[in-house]
Amino acid sequence: MIALVSHAATVVGERQACEALAVSRATYDRHKAPMYSHPTRPRSGGRALAQAEREAVLATLHEPRFVDLAVPQIHAQLLDEGKHPCSLRTMYRILDAAGENRERRDIRRIANATKPELLATKPNELWSWDITKLHGPTKWTYFYLYVIIDVFSRYVVGWMVATRESKVLARKLIAETCAKQGIKPGQLTLHADRGSSMRSKPVALLLADLGVTKTHSRPHVSNDNPYSESHFKTFKFRPDFPKRFGSLEHARGFCGDFFPWYNCEHHHSGLAMLTPHDVHHGLIDERLALRNAALRTAYELHPERFPNGPPAAKRPPDQVWIVGVYTVAGRSDGDGRTGSSVSQRNSKMLRPCARQEPTTVSIRSTNRRPRSDRVACDLRRHITAGRIARSARLFVGSTPSTRTNVKRCCLTFKMPFTNV
């Protein structure tokens, strides 16, 4: 554009050329002026260490007596010896240039946990469960409320109030709830946080036997189980919620009144103001037909009150997910792909580990002696979830009982194994 203005300026002049081509005169003058570069002065100012001095400092830092000391400790010790090869910051610069400015201890590196991306498109496909405390009659006394909620319909499928938090009670509640809802193997995913009862062996073995996939929230992340937490807020913010429960029967009586109200009478804002009972039992079309009839009657009586045309009742969402990023209205999802809906891209619920990995379990002997029952429990759970290769390194042990249990699980699930 500047070259075009320069060519036109030789014919009609600079002002007319700039006005005709909509170019600012200041921009044209700036490009026409010669480029001026300021002289740069050396950054060191003559104070930088010579290469031989830098090598001497690095050799000092490599001395065996300094191998386990931090740089400030080394600098202070050299000063006590009457030596000052360089400043503290220069030592850091020399180590950084040599690629040695890092954590020098051999500590365990914690990898970033994967977000649980779980999708539900129908009832009894994704459940969430949690445990909350209820204040007892005196200070420091509590009752424990176990609640299992269907994520898609927000329907409470199972609950229990007990005097303690127990993995045995949790196992019993989950088993009875799955039997009551008629859960089939491979149908359900059960999501929870990382509490002791949620990660216990009895619960893991039960879910493996039932064919239920178990997922957990990320460590130290409080918002990976939002549906259970939101339900507890609705529960505890009721006007008649007592400050303390006088007895276990009092707590069970209150919950016995609350959960039928919540399931059958509470119009949930996340379900287009339908009740969880309507969504869970497939009564959406029936309820929406009644609402649309009422809106249609109101529109026929007073059409002037509806400037945007006949109103229509809103439908609840067809897809409900935990944490995951999905395509909405043609936008790109977390993988950079675009589409109209998640169901078109993946007809089944997204699993936290959907990659197809090798199915050979390796038993490697080490000095560690993990408990054989824990190894067998983890192996059964990971085989059921289809995550063999990622967890194969967990199944290590040198005891005969460990090898026997691992082989027995592999044979049960018809999985090959290798002794290393």
79 and 159 in a single domain? The answer is: no
- What is the predicted pLDDT for the residue at 42? 59
Split at pLDDT 50, 70, 90, the class of 341 is very low
Is residue 311 in some structural domain? yes
Residue 353 is assigned to a structural domain of this protein: no
Identify whether residues 129 and 261 lie together within a single domain: yes
Domain that holds residue 335: 277-345
Over range 297-310, report the average pLDDT: 90
Point out the least confidently predicted range of 98-102, 327-331, 414-418. Answer: 327-331
The listed range with the strongest mean pLDDT (102-106, 360-364, 407-411) is: 102-106
Q: Does residue 81 share a domain with residue 128?
A: no
* Whether 143 and 248 share a structural domain: yes
Q: Are 353 and 380 in contact (CB under 8 A)?
A: no
Q: How many Å apart are CA 368 and CA 81, to the nearest integer? A: 45
> Is 271 domain-assigned?
no
Locate all alpha helices (DSSP H) within 104-198, ordered by sequence.
Answer: 167-181
What is the per-residue pLDDT for 230? 93
> Span 227-248, mean pLDDT?
94
- Based on the domain organization, do 133 and 261 belong to the same domain? yes
Which pLDDT band, with edges at 50, 70 and 90, does 339 fall under? very low
On whether residue 103 sits in a domain, the answer given is no
Same domain, 154 and 248: yes
CATH classification of the domain holding 260: 3.30.420.10
According to the model, what pLDDT value does residue 397 have?
43
Q: Quick one: which of 116, 115, 118 has its CA closest to 348?
A: 118
How many domains is the chain partitioned into structurally? 5
281 and 244 within one domain: no
Residues 300 and 173 in one domain: no
Q: Which residues pair with 132 in a beta bridge?
A: 145
Same domain, 287 and 197: no
Over the chain, what is the mean pLDDT? 78
40 within domain boundaries: no
Exposure letters 60-81 (e unless 16+ CB within 10 A, then b): bbeeeeeeeeebeebbeebeee
Q: Decide which of 311, 345, 379 is a domain's last residue.
A: 345
Whether 354 is covered by a domain: the verdict is no
The residues near 270 (Cβ < 8 Å, ≥ 6 apart) are: 154, 316, 317
259 contacts: CB under 8 Å, gap ≥ 6: 156, 159
User: What's the token pair of residue 113?
Assistant: 């946990």
> What's the average model confidence in pLDDT over 393-420?
54
Whether 388 is covered by a domain: the verdict is yes
Last residue of a domain, one of 265, 296, 326: 265
Statement to judge: residues 307 and 400 lie in one domain: no
Tell me whether residue 106 is in a domain. no
What's the alpha-carbon Rg for the chain, to the nearest Å?
Answer: 34
- Percentage of the chain with pLDDT > 70? 71
Domain edge (last residue) among 265, 297, 313? 265
pLDDT digits (tens, 9 = 90+) for 149-200: 999 999 999 999 999 999 999 999 999 999 999 999 999 999 999 999 999 9
Residue 76: is its pLDDT beyond 60?
Answer: yes
Q: Which of these ranges, 114-118, 151-155, 169-173, 391-395, has the smallest mean pLDDT? A: 391-395
Q: How confident is the model at residue 356 (pLDDT cuts 50, 70, 90)?
A: very low
pLDDT tens per residue across span 37-53: 556 665 656 778 899 99
Higher pLDDT: 96 or 68? It is 96
Which range, of 219-223, 230-234, 332-336, 408-412, averages the lowest pLDDT?
Answer: 332-336
d(CA 333, CA 326): 5
| Same domain membership, residue 128 and residue 248 | yes
The reply to whether 296 and 184 lie within a common domain is: no
